[in-house]
Copies of this chain bind each other. A is one copy, B any other.
């Protein structure tokens, strides 16, 4: 490698969005085969996982938790429903599209969890369970911090511009 400089390289590693992306990429690659084996996409898996923990959720909650935009979620609902993995739940508010796992969906979820557990344990051993925990806490706390910043209103310029609708 010709023109690389240690100090400069460090800057790239110090970019938060890029570090998050790259770490997610390798981590995902580690677990993706388990998802692939059951012909699920990652967003589909996130939906199953969220539903496995909360029984029933509406589109809005799922969109936020799984980081999926409403139009994508509509398609994902269709796919998972056709495969009999989720089903709609009647809701007092008829606007809401509430769904839950079917028994088949729950079984599939549990199978994937079981199959991937050895790999997760292997990762925890290699990295250190305690450090992994610290990392997860920091990630979730950073998320809260940034969300707060965004709620508190834009102090810097570009957010304002975005709100103003320029672009």
A25 to chain B, nearest CB (A): 5
CB distance from A137 to the nearest CB of B (A): 9
The copy count of this chain in the complex is: 2
Complex Cα spacing A4 to B65, Å: 13
Which B residues touch A23, using CB under 8 A?
A: 20, 139-140, 142-143, 146
In the complex, chain A residues 111-135 whose Cβ is within 8 Å of any chain B Cβ: 115-116, 118-119, 122-123, 126-127, 131-132, 134-135
Q: Which residue of B lies closest to A29 (CB)?
A: B150
Let me know if B27 and A146 touch, CB within 8 A: yes
Flag whether A18 is at the interface (Cβ < 8 A). yes
Give the B-binding residues of A (Cβ under 8 A).
Answer: 1-5, 8-9, 11-31, 33-34, 36-37, 42, 46, 49-50, 53-56, 61, 65-67, 115-116, 118-119, 122-123, 126-127, 131-132, 134-136, 138-143, 145-150, 155-159, 161-162, 167
